[in-house]
C-alpha cells in the first residue's frame, strides 16, 4: 500500500470514529434539551466551525493569485444546492434525533447506515442496473433488519421506522450532494446546508420545546462534539482522506461508522444487545461491506465518490 493511501485510509477511519461517537453525543445531549433544540444548536455550531476553513481557502486562493471569488453560475449552484441539501438534511437529521429518544446509539447507527444499500436501489430509477450480488446484499440486510428491529408479533418500534425513513432521506441527500459537489466548493456547500438545518430546526425548537439557555449550557459538551467534531472536523477529515485513497476503499472505511456507534454506545452508555440483535447487526454490516465490493468497477479506474456532508 502506498504511503499516501495509508494516510488517507487512517484519516477516513478517524472520520468514521468521530461520526460513530456522535450518536452517543446526540443521545446524551437530550438529557438536557429536546431533539430540535439539539439539532439547531449543533448545526449552527457546525456551520461556524467550517467558516475558518473557508477563510483559509479563500486566503490561499488569493496568495496563489486567484481571485477567490466564485463565478455567477457557481454562486447560483451553491445557493440552490445548499438550500436543497439543507432541507433534505433537516428532515433526515431530525428524524434520527427524535428516534434516539427511544432507541440506543448502536442500533441507530446500524439502521441509519442502511442508506449505503438504498443508494444503489435509488440508482435504478436513473436507469442504472445493479449487479446480482447487490440484490444478495439487500436480502442479507433485510434479514439483519428483521432480527434487529422486528419484535414478537411482527411489531416494528416507531423509533425503528423513523430511523429507516431517516436512511431513505439520507439517500436523497447523498444523491443531491453527488449532483452539486462537483459544481461548487464542498466546504461552502456543507456550511450553507448546516445553516439551513440550524435555522429551520430552530423554529419547532422555539415553538414546541421552549429551550432555556441554562439547558443548552447543560448540554454544551455533546453539542460541541456533534457540532465541531462531527460536522466540522469529520467533514474535513473526509475531504483530506478521499484525496489519498481509492473511492471504494473510502466508502468501505466510512461505513465503519455503524460499528463505532455500536461500540461507543456499549462503552459509554452501558448499552447491551441481545443475541438476536447482535446477529442482526452482524448481518447488516456484512451486507454493507459486500455491497461496496459488489459496486466496485472491474478492470477500470474508479470514478470519484461524492463527498457525504
Question: Residue 1 above 90 pLDDT?
Answer: no
Tell me which residue has cell 456543507: 190
The pLDDT value recorded for residue 74 is 83
158-188: pLDDT as tens digits: 888 999 999 999 889 888 887 887 788 888 8
pLDDT in tens, 253-284: 777 787 888 788 888 878 787 888 889 888 88
* Spatial separation of the C-alpha atoms in residues 137 and 87, rounded to whole Å: 30
C-alpha cell at 294: 459488489
Of residues 294 and 25, more confidence is placed in: 25
For range 217-228, the mean pLDDT:
93
DSSP string, 92-114: HHHHHHHHTTTS-HHHHHHHHTT
Residue 65: its pLDDT value, please? 57
pTM: predicted TM-score of the whole model, two decimal places = 0.80
Residue with the larger pLDDT of the pair 298 and 231: 231
pLDDT category, 224, cuts 50, 70, 90? very high
Q: How confident is the model at residue 303 (pLDDT cuts 50, 70, 90)?
A: very low
Between residues 89 and 125, which one has the greater pLDDT?
Answer: 89
Please give the pLDDT value at position 67.
57
The strand pair at 155-156 and 150-151 is best described as antiparallel
The phi, psi pair for 150, rounded to 5°, reads: -90, 120
Domain boundary assignment for the chain: 3-295
Residue 124 has pLDDT above 70, yes or no: yes
- Percent of the chain at pLDDT exceeding 70: 83
C-alpha cell at 211: 429551550
Are the C-beta atoms of residues 307 and 242 closer than 8 Å to each other? yes
Query: What band does 286 get if pLDDT is binned at 50, 70 and 90?
Result: confident
Segment 85-107 mean pLDDT: 89
Most confident of 73-77, 151-155, 242-246: 73-77
Count the helices and strands in the chain (H runs, E runs). Answer: 14, 2
Amino acid at each position: 500500500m502506498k504511503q499516501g493511501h495509508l494516510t488517507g485510509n487512517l484519516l477516513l477511519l478517524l472520520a468514521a470514529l468521530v461520526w460513530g461517537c456522535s450518536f452517543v453525543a446526540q443521545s446524551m445531549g437530550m438529557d438536557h434539551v429536546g431533539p430540535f433544540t439539539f439539532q439547531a444548536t449543533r448545526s449552527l455550531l457546525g456551520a461556524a466551525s467550517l467558516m475558518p476553513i473557508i477563510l483559509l481557502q479563500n486566503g490561499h486562493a488569493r496568495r496563489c493569485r486567484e481571485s477567490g471569488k466564485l463565478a455567477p453560475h457557481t454562486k447560483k449552484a451553491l445557493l440552490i444546492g445548499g438550500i436543497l441539501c439543507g432541507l433534505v438534511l433537516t428532515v433526515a437529521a431530525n428524524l434520527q434525533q427524535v428516534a434516539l429518544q427511544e432507541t440506543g446509539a448502536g442500533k441507530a447507527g446500524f439502521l441509519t447506515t442502511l442508506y449505503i444499500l438504498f443508494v444503489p436501489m435509488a440508482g435504478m430509477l436513473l436507469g442504472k442496473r445493479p449487479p446480482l450480488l447487490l440484490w444478495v446484499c439487500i436480502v442479507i440486510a433485510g434479514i439483519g433488519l428483521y432480527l434487529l428491529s422486528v419484535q414478537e408479533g411482527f411489531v416494528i418500534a416507531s423509533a425503528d421506522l423513523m430511523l429507516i425513513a431517516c436512511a431513505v432521506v439520507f439517500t436523497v441527500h447523498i444523491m443531491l450532494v453527488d449532483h452539486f459537489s462537483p459544481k461548487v466548493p464542498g466546504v461552502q456547500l456543507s456550511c450553507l446546508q448546516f445553516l439551513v438545518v440550524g435555522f429551520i430546526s430552530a423554529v419547532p425548537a422555539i415553538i414546541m420545546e421552549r429551550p432555556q439557555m441554562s439547558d443548552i449550557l447543560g448540554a454544551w459538551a455533546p453539542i460541541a462534539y456533534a457540532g465541531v467534531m462531527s460536522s466540522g472536523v469529520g467533514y474535513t477529515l473526509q475531504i483530506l482522506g478521499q484525496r489519498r485513497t481509492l473511492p471504494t476503499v473510502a466508502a468501505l472505511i466510512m461505513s465503519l461508522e455503524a460499528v463505532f456507534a455500536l461500540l461507543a454506545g456499549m462503552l459509554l452508555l452501558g448499552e447491551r444487545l441481545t443475541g438476536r440483535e447482535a446477529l442482526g447487526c452482524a448481518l447488516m454490516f456484512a451486507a454493507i461491506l459486500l455491497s461496496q465490493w459488489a459496486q466496485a468497477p472491474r478492470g477500470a479506474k474508479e470514478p470519484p465518490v461524492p463527498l457525504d456532508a
